[in-house]
Chain A
Amino acid sequence: EVQLLESGGGLVQPGGSLRLSCATSGFTFSNYAMSWVRQAPGKGLEWLSFILGGGTGTNYADSVKGRFTISRDNSKNTLYLQMNSLRAEDTAVYHCARGWNNGYFDYWGQGTLVTVSS
């Protein structure tokens, strides 16, 4: 059974940093691209970042480019999102999602809540 479990969310002050993790199981992690998608309160889903299975290629939404860094450890079957210079508008539930069919997402984690507030 494919499982994705995010962790690392919490309350952080504006300008602070957090590192999210997404532990996966039930599939060959290195064979799949992965993404982070977030959902702010009362808003729709927003794709943030993508990384290829081998970890060599990445892409970012303009809203997080230069502040967030996606990475992965295929030996640990884990995806990461390093978030720096956090802003109030980054407050959201952050989901990791498995890439499928060159751009869709076939499995998602339930998400971890990040709250940016003083």
Chain B
Amino acid sequence: EIVLTQSPATLSLSPGERATLSCRASQSVSSYLAWYQQKPGQAPRLLIYDASNRATGIPARFSGSGSGTDFTLTISSLEPEDFAVYHCQQRSNWPRTFGQGTKLEIK
């Protein structure tokens, strides 16, 4: 099973700042990695797929990069609605696995 490790566990930033979230895989997943955003009491929302492609309707301030084992989600300038939990997920192997999540909180 591929283990995804996200860091940091919690990131405290202010609106307007740049956020950089990391996801590291225990073995290569090529570019088969997605990022999801989840707000309290809500369903996860697909943000990025195949490491760097924005899903439909996702603002351009969200970008993804990486391949192999190291991936990054960047939010260029934080908006108030961006404070949430972010999950990474791989589709390279079965079982599909998720990271433990990074909570992005307002500083």
Interface residues of A (CB under 8 A from B): 4, 35, 37, 43-47, 50, 59, 61-62, 95, 97, 100-111
Q: Count the A-B residue pairs with Cβ separation under 8 angstroms: how many?
A: 59
B59, CB-defined interface residue at 8 Å: no
Q: Are A45 and B43 in contact (CB under 8 A)?
A: no
Contacts of A62 in B (CB 8 A): 95
Query: Which of B32, B42, B89, B96 has the most A CB atoms < 10 Å from its CB?
Result: B96
B98 touches A46 (CB 8 A): yes
* Known A-B contacts A45-B87, A103-B32, A104-B34; A111 and B43 likewise in contact (beta carbons under 8 Å): yes
Complex contact A110–B95 (CB within 8 A): no
- Interface of A, secondary structure class, is strand
B residues in contact (CB < 8 Å) with A:
32, 34, 36, 41-46, 49-50, 55, 87, 89, 91, 94-101
- Decide yes or no: A104 and B100 within 8 Å by CB, A45-B44, A109-B43, A111-B43 being known contacts: no
7 of the cross-chain contacts (CB-CB < 8 Å) are A44-B87, A45-B87, A47-B98, A100-B49, A101-B49, A101-B50, A104-B46
